[in-house]
Structure 1
C-alpha cells in the first residue's frame, strides 16, 4: 500500500511540476497574434482582382460571407462539438488518450478548432505534453474573450491549405478559381480535407488520396446531420474540378507591373503595411494589353539572335497619353525574381539613340526658335571641336527640310539643329519640362543623338506630351489605395502641365507620322494614324522604337544587360515590329481616330532648299507644301536659286577658253561642301573650269555681266530661314 501511495504522490508531484513549468513558459497573451496577416489586393483598371501581395497568400472574409455548408464541412472534419465545448473537448481528449496509450506515443490529436487556432497563433507544432497543456490553457482564455463565431472566422481565415494558400477565400481561388460563396458541398469537403495534412491531401499531389479523404468528410457531414444522405450522394458523385496547373508552378500574374506597384507601395507605406495589413490597391493595368505584351516580349522570333548562351533583353511600356495611366509594363523577356531588375523603370536606363531627337532637338527648335517641318538645314560634313558627327549611311543629303531629316533620322541635321539653332543649354531646359534631367556639365553636341540615358517609362511619358496637345502628364500605375475597412489612403489625380504649345506638339506629331509612313519607322505601320521614331545607338548596343496613336503611347527597348554590339540590329528592324504587334492588338476593333489638329496650324508652299516662299527661279521639284504654326510662315521670297552661266562640259564657272556655256538655275551659298553631298551639283560652283584652260587664268562673264577675275571671291548674301519669330 505504501508503495502505491508513494507512486501516486510522485506522479501527482510530477504532474504539478509539469503544469507549473508549462504555465511559467506560457507565451504572453497578445490578441493581435490571433489576427491573420492579410495580403494586399491588387485590382486592374476595371476594379477586378488580379493578384495578392503578401508574406502569405491570404484574402480575409467575414463569417457571414462564408456559406453554412462550407462552415459545416470544417466542423465535420475538425471539431463537430465546436459549439458545445469551452475550447477543450474533454470527450475528445479521453478518446485521444485511450488511442495513445494503446498504441504508444502521441498519435491522436483531439485538438479543437480553438486549440488549432492557438497553435497557429502562439505555439510550435511540437507534439509534447507541455505544449498540449499550454494549448489547453490558452484555448480556454480565447473562449472567454471571443464568441464562437469570432473564433471560427479567425480560424477559417488563418488556416493553411497548402499550395501557398492561407485562409478559405484564397484556398477557393487557388484550387477552384472561384469565390467562397460559389463553393459546392464537394468543393467545401475537399478544402476541409486538406488542412489536416496539405502535403498528403492536396489534389495536385495525389488526386486519388484527396478524393478518398473528401468523400470521408462528406460522409461525416451526413452522419452529423449537416447534410442529407441524398446531398451526400450527389456530392460524392462530383469529380474533383480544380484549376489547371499546380499553383506552385504558377507565378503571380503580370509580374513586372505588380513588382512596380509593390515597390511604390513599400516606398510610401513600408513593408509591414503592404505585406500584412491587407491594403486594396486599384491600378491602371489593362490585363489584355499586358498579357499580349508579355507574350510578344517572350517570343524569340521578335529579337536579335543570342550571342553564345546570352539572349538580348527587352522592355516595353504602354500608357494612355491623355491621363498618364500605365496600361502595360514589361521589364524583361522573362520574370525570374520577385522585385528583381525591371528594365522598363530602373534608373538610369539606357541610351535612347535617335528616339531622343524629337525631345532634344526638333521640339525645342519648333517651340523656341519658330522653326517648323519645312525649315531647312544642310546635311553636310561638320565638326565641333574634336567631335565630328556622321550619318549611319556615311552619306549626305545636302539641303533638306526638318521633316525629311527626322523621317530618315539624319544625324548631322539633328546635331546642327541642336548646336547652331537651339543651343545645348536651352535644349536641356526644354527636356527638363518633360521630367528629363540632364547634367549640363557632362554633355556636348552628341546629346542630339541620344547619348543621355533614359528609362522606357520616362521616354514614353515624354512622347505622351506630343500625343496630348503638349501637355505632360506624370505617369502612374496606382489610382487608389484603401485600408481593409475602405478608408481611402490616397486617390490619384492626374498631375499635368503644359510644356509646349499645342501647335508644337502637333507639328512634331505630323513629322513623326512621316517617319512611320515612309521613313525608318515603317515597321510600326498599323491600320490607323501613328507617329513614332526609331533609335539605334553605336554598334546597335541599344535599339528603340517610341511611338503613339491618339489613344496609346508605346516604347520598346532591346539590348543586352551588359551592353554589347548587336550586328544588323536597328530600331526599325526589331522594336518597331514589336510596337506594331502590341499597339495594333490593343486597338483592334476600336474606332479609328486621328490626332486632333489644334487652332493655329496653317499650310503654305515653300522652297525646299531655302525654307522661304518660292521665288521666280524656284524649280517645281523644289516646291513643297507643309504645315506651319501661325506666325511662322516665311514672308521673304527665295533668292538662293539664281541663274548661273557655267561651262557646258565641266559645270564649273567658265573661263575665256570654254567654247560652250549654258545657263542653269543653281543654289547660291556662301560656303563650299565636298562633292559627296547629294545636291553638290545643284549648288553654284566657286571654282573655274580647268578642262578648257591651261591653268586657272581667263575671264568669265557672270550673269550680271560683271567682270570677275580668276580666283576672285564672289560676294553674295544668304537670306535667313524666316523673317518671323516664335509666337
Structure 2
C-alpha cells in the first residue's frame, strides 16, 4: 500500500510538473500572426534587368492560405494519412504511441512513428529532426502548449502553410505551384493526395524524382480517406493520380553561372539574413541567350568556353561560365586562371603609350635577347623598321619584348594591376607574352576601362535589393578613378581597332567600329578574344579544363567568331559609336607572321613550372603538316598594289568577305568555317592552368 501511495504521489508530482511546463511553454509561444510571418529560412528571388525572375533560391514559400481557402480535400487528405485522431487528441496521441511501440516491437525496428500533426508543427517551427529522447520530450511539451494556445483549425492552417514538401517548397501553395503549376486553392483530390503523401518522405515520394512512388503513395492517401469516411469509393475511383500532368521543371540555364557569382556578394552588401529578398540584377536575358548560343556554336569539340560582357558602367549583361551548367557548375569566366597570350600585350602597349610612345613611332623588329631569353616572331623572321601600330596589329613578339625592356617589366605588372588584374603577375621578361595566369572577368574589365577612355570600370551584377517591400541596397557607379590619361586610352583604342580591321582579330568584325585583341598560348592550350563596340565590352576564352592542346584553337578563330556571333545581335539596337581615333592602316609592305592570319600561339614563351624563362630546345623541329591538313601554304605572291587594294576593301567594307592584311605572302581569303591546323610544338615545361574543382550537382 505504501508503494502504491508513493507511485500515486510521484504521478501527481509528474503531472503537476508537466502542467507547469506546458503552461510555461504556452506563455512563451509567439502569437499566431508572428508564427505566420516567421520563415524557416531565407528565400532569395533573383530578377533580370527586365524584371523577369531568373531563379529562386533557398526555401520557397507560396501564398499563405487561410483555413477557409484551403481545399477540403487537402485538409482531409492530410489528416487521414498523417493523424486521423487529430480532432480528438490534446496534442500528443497516447493511442498512436502505444500502437507504434507495438508495431515496432513486432518488426524489430522502427517502422512507424507516433508524431501528431501538432508535434510535426512544433518540430518544423521550433526544433530539428534529431531522433533523441530530449528532443521528443520537448516536442511533446510544445505540442501540448500549442493545443492550449491555438484552435485545431489554426494549427492545421499553420501546418499546411509551413511544413516541408520537398524540392525547396514549404507549404502547400509552394508545393502546388512547383509540381502542378497553379495555386493550392485549386487543388483537385488527386493532386491533394500527391502533396499530402509527400510529408512522410519528400525526397522519396517527389513526383519529379520518382513518379511511380508518388502515384503509389497517393493511392495510399486516397485509400485512407475512404477508410475514415472523408470520401466515397466512387470519388476515390474517379481520382486517378496517374492522369496528373506535372509542371515542367525550370531549365538549369547558363544564367546560373551569373547568379552563382553575384549572390555571394550579398554578404558584403547587406546585413539582412532572415527576411525574403528580391534581388534585382544587371543580366539581360536576351544577351544571355545570345552569349550561350555563341559559345556553344563556336567552341571546338572537347573544349570549354566562357564569355563575359560588360556595359559601359560595368554592369554584367551576359556571363557564360561553361558549355553546360548542369554537367559542370565550375565558372570559367570568374574562377579559371589561364595564360592570356598576346591579349596581355594590352598592358605592354598601355605602359609604352603612357611613357610617351605614339602609335606612329618607329621601332626595329630585330632579334633581341633579354637576360638569356630570346623571343622570336612566329614567322621566324624580322621585318626591320615598323610602327607600333603595325607591331601590335601583327602581334610581333620581339617588339613587345623590347618595349617591356624599355619601360620595365615591373611597370607593366603595375599597369595590369591598375587595370584590375587580381592574380599574381610574374616580372620575368617573357611576361610580355602573357605567361601569368589571369581571369577572364579581370581581362574583360581591363578592356572595358580602355573603352571608358581610361576611367576604371568595375564589374557588378546587383543593382538593387528589397526586403519586405523596402529597398535595403542600391548600387552606385563610381566613375572617379582615372587609370590613364584619355589620350593614352585613345591611342590604345587606335591600336586595338587596327588589330580587328587588318590584324589578328579580323574574324571579330561585326559591321560597326570594333576594337579588340586576340590571345593564343603555347601548344594551342588557350584562345582569347577581347574587344568592345557601342559601349559593350566582351571577353571570350576557350580551352580545355585539363590544359591539354586543342587542335585548331587560336584567338583569331573560334573565340573571335564567338565574339562576333554574340556582339552582332547584342549591339543591334544600340547606336553606332565612332571611336575618338579612326582606323589607320599599318604598313602594307610588311609580311605579317602567321599570328596575323590565324592567331597562332606565342610559342616563344618557354617557361618552367615556376614561370622562369628557359631556353628553347635546340632540337625542336618546326611544325610540319599532317595528313588531311588543309591549311593554305605558300600561296602565290600578290603585287603591293593588290595588297593595298585588299586592305582598303577590308576596312571600308567593300568587296564581300574581308581579305587578309597585305604582305608579300598575300594569304588567300578564308572561309569562316573552322580550320584544321597543326598544333604548335609544346614548350619544355608549360605553366599549368588552374584546374576546376570536382563538379557537384547544381542546386535544384
* Smaller-chain TM-score bracket: 0.5 to 0.7
Deviation at 1:221, TM superposition (A): 9.9
Q: Distance in 1 between matches of 2:23 and 2:340?
A: 59
Map of 1:158 onto structure 2: 162
Quickly say closer, same or farther: Cα 1:39–1:47, change in 2 above 3 A.
same
Deviation by residue 1:494-525 (Cα, 9 ceiling, x = unmatched)? 12234344454444334433323332223333
Deviation by residue 1:96-117 (Cα, 9 ceiling, x = unmatched)? 5897799897999786543320
Quickly say closer, same or farther: Cα 1:330–1:130, change in 2 above 3 A.
closer
Q: Distance in 1 between matches of 2:161 and 2:491?
A: 58
Match of 2:509 among 511, 525, 545: 525
Q: TM-score, normalised by structure 1?
A: 0.64
Map of 1:260 onto structure 2: 261
Deviation at 1:70, TM superposition (A): 3.8
Deviation at 1:448, TM superposition (A): 2.7
Match of 2:341 among 353, 366, 376: 353
Map of 2:318 onto structure 1: 328
Count residues with an aligned counterpart. Answer: 585
Match of 2:379 among 374, 383, 393: 393
Deviation at 1:547, TM superposition (A): 1.9
- The 5 Å alignment of 1:680-691 reads none
Q: Distance in 2 between matches of 1:491 and 1:592?
A: 26
Deviation by residue 1:400-441 (Cα, 9 ceiling, x = unmatched)? 333332222222233334444x5545544544442236979x
Deviation at 1:138, TM superposition (A): 1.4
2:300 is the counterpart of 1:303: yes
5+ long unaligned stretches in structure 2: 591-639, 648-662, 666-700
2:388 is the counterpart of 1:402: yes
* Conserved 8 A contact 2:121-2:159: yes
Q: Distance in 2 between matches of 1:126 and 1:367?
A: 66
- The 5 Å alignment of 1:172-183 reads 172-177=176-181
* Conserved 8 A contact 2:500-2:508: yes
Deviation at 1:458, TM superposition (A): 0.8
Larger relative contact order (CA 8 Å, sep ≥ 6): 2
Q: Which moved more, 1:97-106 or 1:466-475?
A: 97-106
2:79 is the counterpart of 1:75: no
2:433 is the counterpart of 1:449: yes
Quickly say closer, same or farther: Cα 1:154–1:518, change in 2 above 3 A.
farther
5+ long unaligned stretches in structure 1: 306-311, 611-618, 627-676, 680-727
Map of 1:534 onto structure 2: 518
Q: Distance in 1 between matches of 2:507 and 2:205?
A: 53
* Conserved 8 A contact 1:76-1:224: no
* Conserved 8 A contact 2:291-2:566: yes
2:469 is the counterpart of 1:472: no
Deviation at 1:586, TM superposition (A): 3.9
Any idea what SS the aligned residue of 2:456 has? strand
Match of 1:315 among 295, 306, 309: 306
Q: Distance in 2 between matches of 1:544 and 1:513?
A: 16
Match of 1:284 among 282, 285, 296: 282
Q: Distance in 1 between matches of 2:61 and 2:586?
A: 69
Map of 1:435 onto structure 2: 420
Q: Distance in 2 between matches of 1:387 and 1:607?
A: 28
Map of 1:593 onto structure 2: 575
* Conserved 8 A contact 1:168-1:180: yes
Q: Which moved more, 1:190-199 or 1:220-229?
A: 220-229
Deviation at 1:462, TM superposition (A): 1.0
Q: Distance in 2 between matches of 1:509 and 1:170?
A: 52
2:192 is the counterpart of 1:191: no
Map of 1:669 onto structure 2: none
Quickly say closer, same or farther: Cα 1:131–1:370, change in 2 above 3 A.
closer
Q: Distance in 2 between matches of 1:214 and 1:575?
A: 52
Any idea what SS the aligned residue of 2:473 has? strand
Q: Distance in 2 between matches of 1:22 and 1:253?
A: 56
Any idea what SS the aligned residue of 1:490 has? strand
Quickly say closer, same or farther: Cα 1:294–1:173, change in 2 above 3 A.
farther
* Conserved 8 A contact 1:22-1:133: no
Q: Distance in 2 between matches of 1:410 and 1:427?
A: 17
* Conserved 8 A contact 1:40-1:277: no
* Conserved 8 A contact 1:86-1:140: no
Map of 1:202 onto structure 2: 206
Match of 2:121 among 92, 109, 117: 117
Q: Distance in 2 between matches of 1:466 and 1:288?
A: 26
Q: Distance in 1 between matches of 2:225 and 2:104?
A: 30
* Conserved 8 A contact 1:51-1:253: no
Deviation at 1:528, TM superposition (A): 4.0
Q: Distance in 2 between matches of 1:431 and 1:101?
A: 71
Any idea what SS the aligned residue of 1:512 has? helix
Match of 2:476 among 482, 493, 498: 493
Q: Distance in 2 between matches of 1:437 and 1:345?
A: 11
Quickly say closer, same or farther: Cα 1:292–1:174, change in 2 above 3 A.
farther
Quickly say closer, same or farther: Cα 1:416–1:298, change in 2 above 3 A.
same
Quickly say closer, same or farther: Cα 1:552–1:222, change in 2 above 3 A.
farther
Map of 1:694 onto structure 2: none
Deviation at 1:141, TM superposition (A): 1.8
Q: Distance in 1 between matches of 2:133 and 2:574?
A: 74
Q: Distance in 2 between matches of 1:544 and 1:604?
A: 24
* Conserved 8 A contact 1:293-1:328: yes
Deviation at 1:325, TM superposition (A): 1.1
Quickly say closer, same or farther: Cα 1:280–1:205, change in 2 above 3 A.
closer
Q: Distance in 1 between matches of 2:527 and 2:132?
A: 64
Map of 2:89 onto structure 1: 89
Any idea what SS the aligned residue of 2:146 has? helix
Deviation at 1:91, TM superposition (A): 11
Deviation at 1:366, TM superposition (A): 3.9
Any idea what SS the aligned residue of 2:61 has? coil
Quickly say closer, same or farther: Cα 1:10–1:48, change in 2 above 3 A.
farther
Deviation by residue 1:295-320 (Cα, 9 ceiling, x = unmatched)? 65567x72265xxxxxx544322222
Q: Distance in 2 between matches of 1:18 and 1:129?
A: 17
Quickly say closer, same or farther: Cα 1:556–1:603, change in 2 above 3 A.
closer
Deviation at 1:175, TM superposition (A): 1.6
- The 5 Å alignment of 1:666-677 reads none
Deviation at 1:562, TM superposition (A): 5.0
Q: Distance in 2 between matches of 1:603 and 1:409?
A: 17
Quickly say closer, same or farther: Cα 1:128–1:531, change in 2 above 3 A.
closer
Map of 2:533 onto structure 1: 549
Q: Distance in 1 between matches of 2:159 and 2:183?
A: 18
Deviation at 1:476, TM superposition (A): 0.7
Deviation by residue 1:570-606 (Cα, 9 ceiling, x = unmatched)? 212332223233334545xx336333444xx589999
Q: Distance in 1 between matches of 2:310 and 2:643?
A: 40
Deviation at 1:473, TM superposition (A): 1.7
* Conserved 8 A contact 2:91-2:118: no
Q: Distance in 2 between matches of 1:170 and 1:67?
A: 16
Q: TM-score, normalised by structure 2?
A: 0.67
* Conserved 8 A contact 2:197-2:217: yes
2:375 is the counterpart of 1:371: no
Quickly say closer, same or farther: Cα 1:146–1:283, change in 2 above 3 A.
farther
- The 5 Å alignment of 1:634-713 reads none
* Conserved 8 A contact 2:308-2:333: yes
